[in-house]
């Protein structure tokens, strides 16, 4: 398996504050790699370095075999970045946002590129509306769609589901999975444990500027001894309740709409 991203000994400080203290990891081509950590762990700083927006104080990093410092222009041609907040123009329509980016990338038939992406991200009906009328989930889908214009080989998603409701989060998760399936390498940062667990092929835990663990979910689980459980009553999660009540198509489930409480089952494990 080829390597899309290589990070070796990256350090970064802001005056006296050391944010990254020798970070090392690799990301396989076509995989989803999660950089997991709490606020202030250095996740966004690492993404900025890899996307050529910030220079490291020490160490080296390559993206698609290109050095992020000495070959920054070539790196930018092969990547795309989606930040924590949707970088969309609210005055323009969804389609106009996509056409604008396609023109900036000097693509042929920018209108067709926009229409194809609107269809791919289930935004065709909303394409002519101003983005200012979009929900948070719709804005995030449009933002990711814009980042895919030009077919980048690597995409960086910096906390892609921040501020989204549960249904919108699931939509973004499916988009990320589809990207990897199509061969795109995805590096995402997150502070949500369930997000890393659901999406990532490999997870690196960044804490106080260093990687303290790196592996698949199964490998990370082996770091702790399994708990012995003889009998467990499985209660529905809040996400289960929410999705059951609204229905998968957004309409309320008539079986539960007027009920005062849900039901729970029992499982043995």
Q: What is the CATH number of the domain that holds 84?
A: 3.40.50.300
Q: What is the pLDDT of residue 268?
A: 42
**Considering its fold, how many domains does the chain have in total?**
1
Residue whose tokens read 């203290």 = 21
Task: Please give the full DSSP string across 175-189, using - where no structure is assigned.
Answer: HHHHHHHTT-EEEEE
d(CA 49, CA 100): 26
In a domain, 171, yes or no: yes
Chain segment 235-249, per-residue pLDDT in tens: 777 677 667 766 655
For the chain, percent of residues with pLDDT exceeding 70: 87
- Closest Cα to residue 199, out of 31, 6, 30, 26? 31
In a domain, 51, yes or no: yes
For the chain, percent of residues with pLDDT exceeding 90: 52
Q: What is the pLDDT of residue 249?
A: 55
Chain segment 136-149, per-residue pLDDT in tens: 888 888 988 898 89
The average pLDDT across 92-104 equals 94
In a domain, 110, yes or no: no
Q: Is residue 257 over pLDDT 70?
A: no
Chain segment 175-205, per-residue pLDDT in tens: 899 989 989 999 999 988 889 999 999 999 9
What is the Cα gyration radius of the chain? 21
Largest interatomic CA distance in the chain? 63
Helices and strands: H and E segment counts in the chain: 10, 10
Q: Is 245 left (phi over 0), alpha (psi -120 to 50) or beta?
A: alpha
Q: Which has the higher per-residue pLDDT, 228 or 27?
A: 27
In a domain, 17, yes or no: yes
In a domain, 18, yes or no: yes
- Order of strands, edge to edge, in the sheet holding 17-28? 17-28, 3-14, 58-63, 66-67
In a domain, 73, yes or no: yes
In a domain, 147, yes or no: yes
Full-model pTM: 0.80
In a domain, 239, yes or no: no
- The answer to which of 99-103, 110-114, 145-149 has the lowest mean pLDDT is 145-149
Q: How far is CA 140 from the centre of its chain?
A: 10
Count the Cβ atoms, other than its own, within 10 Å of residue 222.
Answer: 11
Structural domain of residue 69, as residue ranges?
A: 3-91+135-221
């Amino acid at each position: 398996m080829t390597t899309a991203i290589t990070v070796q000994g990256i350090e970064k400080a802001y005056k006296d504050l050391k944010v990254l203290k020798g970070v090392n990891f690799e990301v396989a081509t076509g995989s989803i790699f999660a950089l997991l950590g709490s606020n202030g762990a250095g996740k966004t700083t690492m993404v900025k370095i890899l996307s050529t927006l910030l220079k490291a104080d020490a160490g080296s990093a390559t993206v698609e075999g290109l050095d992020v410092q000495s070959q920054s222009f070539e790196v930018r041609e092969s990547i795309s970045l989606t930040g924590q907040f949707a970088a969309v123009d609210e005055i323009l329509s969804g389609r106009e946002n996509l056409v604008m980016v396609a023109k900036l990338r000097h693509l042929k038939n920018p209108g067709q590129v926009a229409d194809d992406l609107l269809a791919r991200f289930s935004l065709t009906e909303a394409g002519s509306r101003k983005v200012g009328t979009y929900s948070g989930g719709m804005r995030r889908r449009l933002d990711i769609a814009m980042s895919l214009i030009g077919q980048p080989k690597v995409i960086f998603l910096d906390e892609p589901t921040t501020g989204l409701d549960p249904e919108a989060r699931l939509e973004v998760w499916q988009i990320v999975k589809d990207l990897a399936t199509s061969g795109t390498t995805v590096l995402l940062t997150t502070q949500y444990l369930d997000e890393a667990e659901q999406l990532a092929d490999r997870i690196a835990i960044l804490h106080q500027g260093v990687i303290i663990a790196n592996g698949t979910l199964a490998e990370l689980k082996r770091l702790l001894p399994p708990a012995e459980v003889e009998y467990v009553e499985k209660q529905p999660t809040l996400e289960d309740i929410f999705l059951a009540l609204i229905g998968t198509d957004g309409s309320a489930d008539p079986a539960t709409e007027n009920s005062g409480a849900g039901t729970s089952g029992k499982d043995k494990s």
